Chains A and B, each alone.
Chain A
Amino acid sequence: EVQLVESGGGVVQPGGSLRLSCAASGFTFDDYAMHWVRQAPGKGLEWVSLISGDGGWTYHADSVKGRFTISRDNSKNSLYLQMNSLRTEDTALYYCAKGRQWLVHCWGQGTLVTVSS
């Protein structure tokens, strides 16, 4: 069974940094691309970032480009999202998701990030 468990969320001031983690199990991690997707309070879903199975290529939404970096450690079956220069509009529930090619296939339960002074 695929399991994706996010951690690292919390409250941070504008301009601050946070690193999210996602522990994956139940599948051969390095065979699959991985995504981060977020949902701001009362809003819809927004795709954030994508990384290939070997970590060789990444894509980021324009809204986070230059501030967020997706990465992975295949030896630890873990996915990360380094978030710098955080803004209030980055407040959201952040989901880690397993990809199938670029399809967002299986989702974790999410970790909440609140950017507030």
Chain B
Amino acid sequence: EIVLTQSPGTLSLSPGERATLSCRASQSVGSNYLAWYQLKPGQAPRLLIFGASSRATGIPDRFSGSGSGTDFTLTISRLEPEDFAVYYCMQYGSTPLTFGPGTKVDIK
């Protein structure tokens, strides 16, 4: 099983600032099948990034993903008020599919 570790656990930033979230895998993620999701209270999770760096339909270009192998990054270039949420990475390259523990981005 691939174990995903996310850091930091919480990121306190102000609107307009840049957010950099890390996701590290215990072993290489097959075909870089790494996705990022945003989760807000009372809402369905939303797919942001798949294949490590491809933006999902309708996702603003301030969200970008990078990385390969075992180290991946989600960057939000300029935080908007609606971006304060919890972000999860997930690998779907091998079963069992696994999620990281999440990074909470909150308002400083």
Residues of A bordering B, CB below 8 Å:
35, 37, 44-47, 50, 59, 61-62, 95, 100-110
Q: B90, A47: Cβ atoms under 8 Å?
A: yes
B39's partner among A45, A61, A62, A100 (CB-CB below 8 A) is A45
Q: Which residues of B lie under 8 Å from residue A102 when comparing CB positions?
A: 33, 92-93, 95, 97
Q: Is the interface of B mostly helix, strand, loop or mixed?
A: loop
Interface residues on chain B, number (Cβ under 8 Å): 24
Q: How many A-B residue pairs have CB under 8 A?
A: 59
Closest partner residue, chain B, to A4 (CB atom): B44
Q: Say yes or no: is B84 at the interface (Cβ < 8 Å to chain A).
A: no
Interface majority SS on A: helix, strand, loop or mixed? Answer: strand
Q: A45-B39, A105-B56 are in contact. List 15 more A-B contacts (CB 8 A).
A: A44-B99, A44-B100, A47-B90, A47-B98, A47-B99, A50-B97, A62-B96, A101-B92, A102-B33, A103-B92, A105-B47, A106-B47, A107-B44, A107-B46, A109-B43
